[in-house]
Amino acid sequence: MGDTLFEKVWKSHVVVEQESGPSLIYIDRHLVHEVTSPQAFDGLRMNNRKVRRPDLTIATMDHNVPTNDRSLPILDQTSSIQIQTLEKNCNDFGITLFDINSPNQGIVHVIGPQLGITLPGSTIVCGDSHTSTHGAFGALALGIGTSDVEHVLASQTMWLEKPKTFEIKVDGKIKNPHAVTAKDIVLSIIKNIGTGGGTGTVIEYRGQGISDLSMEQRMTICNMSIEAGARAGMIAPDEKTFDYLRDRKYTPKNYESLVEIWRDSLKTDNDAKFEKEFTLDINDIAPQVSWGTNPGMTCDVTESIPTPDDFSNGDDNQKKGAQKALDYMDLKSGTPVEEIKIDRVFIGSCTNARLEDLIEASKVIKGQKISSHVKAMVVPGSQMVKKQAEEMGLDKIFIESNFEWREAGCSMCLGMNPDILSPGERCASTSNRNFEGRQGTGGRTHLVSPVMAAAAAIAGHFVDVRKLDLN
Amino acid sequence: MEPFKNIQSIITPLDKVNVDTDQIIPKQFLKLVQKSGFGKFLFYNWRFDETENKRSDFVLNDSKYENSHILVSGDNFGCGSSREHAVWALQDYGFSVIIAPSFADIFFSNCFKNGILPITLDQEIVETLFIETDSVEIDLENQIIVTPSRTIPFTIDSHKKKILLEGLDDIAQTFQLENKIIEFEENSTVPSVLKSF
């Protein structure tokens, strides 16, 4: 029996295998940010340990950085301390840092691929669950806790139980790819398999529906693997992958010879078997809108808010969860999604703040003003994305529509910086989590694609973007 | 890490599914640069209202659970963000055992790095623990939960059990295998990031 893509990458990184229990896995790339690393560096200091491979470690600051004027001091003192701590740690331990003023600064999962740090067939870790994003390049990319950050800094390895394999096949062809996007595909998947559907597995996304996607869209898919509970998500590299990484800042000098190896080796063998399987047909999928407090609580934009009974399929615990979610979201079962009014729009995050996302969203709003009761902002995923967008004039389109145009960072995806919702505010957000209070205590998040968020900003409520002329 | 000792305690029932790490420790408390002091922020938005008064309907605010070391909850506990602060907060608050029908992977792994024992049990057994009002004993060595009326066995990977019982330092263990790491590096074909300038 052949191997899956995951098994091939796994096997090529096993340093020590035991009869039972976890294996010691070598880590090719370690991405570090300000929030989950200070305690790890402290641990190294206490035990007089060094960073084993500073040359395989890259740091940036993204989670709590302000996204307004970067020439101003950071007002929040605790954020400021965390940022200074990362600067000191990178300096002390010899790690390359893209700081707040660097043209390479940005959300760690946006800059990794943009800089050519992310490579097919490699192992990548970061103290952030959305590390799964990098799997779009055929890497095994895992989110880890701070203890593992310390372990990888010290040893460039990590102990890991071998996850199970999960094939998610995306069949068919989207009729209007400007209106129905990768975000809608991945939300549909999570809606179907549930937020724990991928627990203990590494997902490989396969099929026509995946190979048709651009690299940036594939990143959106892999990014949200963690929202289905998966350890990682992967997509086998193809010519789109190799083209994307060619001539980036850190693309290896021997790149073409690496591509030759990857082209033949980094794919699942025909006779390989997956331990779990799911198939989604995307021929007729609609734009998705989350209505609850986890990403599995999602429906079509054309539907109405479900009853807890309809949602739970007879599971009492799920029913209680759905009722609680409706209460928190202040929604009534039976309300058409298109009638839900919004107060805020956030276009940003490691899920949907890349150049294509901003281009597609800008087409929706061009020449129009956002609804008078809506406040809207765009936070590019990286300073490089921001610069590219500005070179195309996208900033002007957004600003003329009354969007705020910000500096790069995680921003309102998790609201660690000043960008937060006020209690009760309802937001159409291109981010990845609609948990209670995620975007600000008492805030209400609806997860949508960038074009859906843009259309909601103009209309002041959700609209089915398939009705708009987007070509 | 301190070796895990047997626990005798009443159970705090948190009867919710999909408890995410954003609820366990909300983001506004992730800015500390040390590991201690997170307990007072545990389940902050569920424990306190907008004016920072205790919400009387939240289980942790019921004084009878004040000295509980065992938390029992629903499916998919610890989902979402990888923040280890969630485990630090549970531990600092006083919990050393979390019982649920299933856990999210990263949270589960983080527990063992900090001496917390996560126990996975069938839904039906978890339901009975939600209504258990007597003190129970968690015996890791023998892998049992002892209630006044019965003994509930649980499974745990032998490697993880050893780590908890002996309070092992992961990194020190790994360093004993350094020759294997060096060997791997000598044969690795993945280029160094910085050499590719």
Of A38, A161, A196, the CB nearest to B33: A38
| CA atoms of B136 and A13, how far apart (whole Å) | 43
pLDDT digits (tens, 9 = 90+) for A368-419: 999 999 999 999 999 999 999 999 999 999 999 999 999 999 999 999 989 9
Indicate yes or no: CB of B106 within 8 angstroms of CB of A144: yes
- Report how far residue A119's alpha carbon sits from residue A11's, in angstroms, rounded to the nearest whole number: 17
| Cβ contact, residue pair A29, B193, below 8 Å | yes
Pick from A5, A18, A17, A12: which is nearest to A202 by CA?
Answer: A5
What tokens appear for B43 in the block?
């389940």
pTM of the model: 0.97
| pLDDT score for A70 | 85
For A416, which of B30, B192, B196 is closest by C-beta distance? B30
Quick one: pLDDT at residue A470? 79
Task: Please say whether the beta carbons of A172 and A282 come within 8 A.
Answer: yes
Q: Identify which of B75, B74, B50, B70 has the alpha carbon closest to the alpha carbon of residue B60.
A: B70
Beta carbons of A253 and B196 less than 8 Å apart: yes
A71-80, A259-268, A378-387, B164-173, range with the lowest pLDDT:
A71-80
| Cα distances (angstroms) measured from residue A305 to each of A173, A193, B113 | 27, 19, 41
- Mean model confidence pLDDT for chain A: 97
Confidence class for position A69, pLDDT limits 50, 70, 90: confident
Q: Which domains does chain B have, with CATH numbers?
A: 7-167 (3.20.19.10)
pLDDT in the model for residue B117: 98
In chain A, residues with a C-beta closer than 8 Å to the C-beta of B85 are 146
pLDDT of residue A471: 66
The answer to whether A165 touches A274, Cβ cutoff 8 Å, is: yes
CA distance A427 to chain B (A): 18
CB contact under 8 A, B83 and A145: yes
Nearest to A435 by CA among A231, A230, A287, A296: A296
Mean pLDDT of B9-21: 97
Cα nearest neighbour of B109 on chain A: A145
A66 vs B: CB within 8 A: no
The mean pLDDT value for A59-76 works out to 90
Confidence of residue B120 (pLDDT cuts 50, 70, 90): very high
CB-CB contact of A134 with A141 (8 Å) = yes
Contact list, A224 vs chain B (CB under 8 Å):
none
Residues in chain B closer than 8 A to A252 (CB atoms): 191, 196
Average pLDDT of the residues of chain B? 95
Identify whether the C-beta of residue A51 lies closer than 8 Å to the C-beta of residue A44: yes
Q: In what order do the strands lie in the sheet with B117-120?
A: B11-14, B70-73, B97-100, B117-120
| Pairwise CB contact (< 8 Å): A435 & B30 | no
Distance CA B66, CA A14 (A): 45
Alpha carbon distance, N-terminus to C-terminus of chain A: 46
Q: Cα distance from A346 to chain B (closest Cα, Å)?
A: 18
Asked if B17 and A318 come within 8 Å (Cβ–Cβ), the reply is yes
Q: Which residues, other chains included, contact A243 with Cβ-Cβ below 8 Å and sequence gap of 6+?
A: none
Nearest residue of A to residue B84 by CA position? A145
Contact (CB<8Å) A435/B22? yes
Q: Which of A94, A113, A115, A117 is nearest to A103 (CA)?
A: A115
Q: For the residues A235-244, what does the mean pLDDT come to?
A: 98
Measured torsion, CA atoms of residues A140, A434, B119, B63, in degrees rounded to the nearest 10? 150
- Which residues make beta-bridge pairs with A125? A30, A142
Q: Please name the residue of chain A whose CA is at the shortest distance from the CA of residue B78.
A: A229
Residue B53: pLDDT above 70? Answer: yes
Instruction: Give whole-number Cα distances, B113 to A150, A151, B2, B38, B163, in Å.
Output: 11, 10, 11, 16, 8
Contact B79 A195 (CB under 8 A): yes
In angstroms, rounded to a whole number, what is the distance separating the alpha carbons of residues B8 and A376? Answer: 52
Long-range contacts of B63-69 (CB under 8 A, 24+ apart): B64/B10, B65/B10, B65/B12, B67/B9, B67/B10, B67/B94, B68/B9, B68/B10, B68/B11, B68/B12, B68/B94, B68/B95, B69/B7, B69/B9, B69/B94, B69/B95, B69/B96, B69/B97
Residue owning tokens 């609804």:
A371
As a whole number, mean pLDDT of residues B81-106 equals 97
pLDDT at B195 over 80: no
Tell me the two tokens of residue B29.
């408390």
Minimum-distance CB partner of A317 among B17, B114, B197: B17
Q: Which of A243, A254, A251, A188 is nearest to A216 (CA)?
A: A243
Q: Which chain A residue has the Cα nearest residue B194? A: A55
Query: A309: pLDDT confidence band, cut at 50, 70 and 90?
Result: very high
Of B45, B102, B180, the CB nearest to A436: B45
Phi, psi for residue A278 in degrees, rounded to 5: -150, 140
Dihedral sign computed on CA atoms, order A192, A466, A376, A303: negative
Residue among A32, A27, A28 nearest A96 (CA): A32
ipTM: 0.95
Average confidence (pLDDT) over A246-264: 95
pLDDT in tens, B153-173: 999 999 899 999 999 888 999
- Across the interface, whether the CB atoms of A155 and B181 are under 8 A apart is answered yes
Phi, psi of A200 (to 5 degrees): 80, 5
Strand pairing partners for A126? A31, A143
**How many A/B residue pairs have CB atoms within 8 Å?**
202
Whole-number Cα distances in Å, A38 to A67, A81, A112, A155, B189 = 22, 10, 21, 17, 31
Of the candidates B50, B158, B175, which has its C-beta nearest A21's C-beta?
B158
Q: Which among A81, A129, A159 has the least Cβ separation from residue B80?
A: A129
Q: Name the closest residue on chain A to residue B23, using Cα atoms.
A: A436
Residue B189, pLDDT > 90, answer no
Which pLDDT belongs to residue B56? 95
Q: Would you state the pLDDT for residue A423?
A: 96
Nearest-Cα distance to chain B for A364, in Å, is 31
**Nearest-by-Cβ selection for B27 from A127, A145, A414:** A414
At residue A429 the predicted structure's pLDDT band, cuts being 50, 70 and 90, is: very high
Q: How far is A209 from chain B (nearest CA, A)?
A: 26
Three-state SS letters, chain A: CCCCHHHHHHHCCEEECCCCCCEEEECCEEEECCCCCHHHHHHHHHCCCCCCCHHHEEEECCCCCCCCCCCCCCCCHHHHHHHHHHHHHHHHHCCEEECCCCCCCECHHHHHHHCCCCCCCCEEEECCHHHHHHHHHCCEEEECCHHHHHHHHHHCEEEECCCEEEEEEEECCCCCCCCCCHHHHHHHHHHHHCCCCCCCEEEEEECHHHHCCCHHHHHHHHHHHHHHCCCEEECCCCHHHHHHHCCCCCCCCCHHHHHHHHHHHCCCCCCCCCCEEEEEECCCCCCEEECCCCCCCEEECCCECCCHHHHHCCCHHHHHHHHHHHHHHCCCCCCEHHHCECCEEEECCCCCCCHHHHHHHHHHHCCCCCCCCCEEEECCCEHHHHHHHHHCCHHHHHHHCCEEECCCCCHHHCCCCCCCCCCCCEEEECCCCCCCCCCCCCCEEEECCHHHHHHHHHHCECCCHHHCCCC
CB contact under 8 A, A127 and B171: no
Polymer length of chain B:
197
Percent of chain A scored above 70 by pLDDT?
A: 100
Confidence tier at B196 by pLDDT (50, 70, 90): low
What distances in angstroms separate CA B43 from CA B64, B69, B124, one per listed residue? 17, 15, 25
Q: Strand A288-290 relative to strand A298-300: parallel, antiparallel, unpaired? A: antiparallel
Residues of A in contact with B188 (CB under 8 A): 26, 28
Residue B14 pLDDT greater than 60, yes or no:
yes
Nearest CB to B23 within list A116, A146, A436: A436
Closest C-alpha among A43, A11, A40 to residue A25:
A11
Residues in chain A: 471
Report the sign of the C-alpha dihedral through residues A310, A312, A313, A314, in that order.
Answer: negative
| Candidate from A81, A154, A320 with C-beta closest to B33 | A81
Interchain pair B105, A416: CB under 8 A: no
Q: Give the residue from chain B lying closest to A196, CA to CA.
A: B76
Please indicate whether, in this complex, the C-beta atoms of B109 and A145 are within 8 angstroms of each other: yes
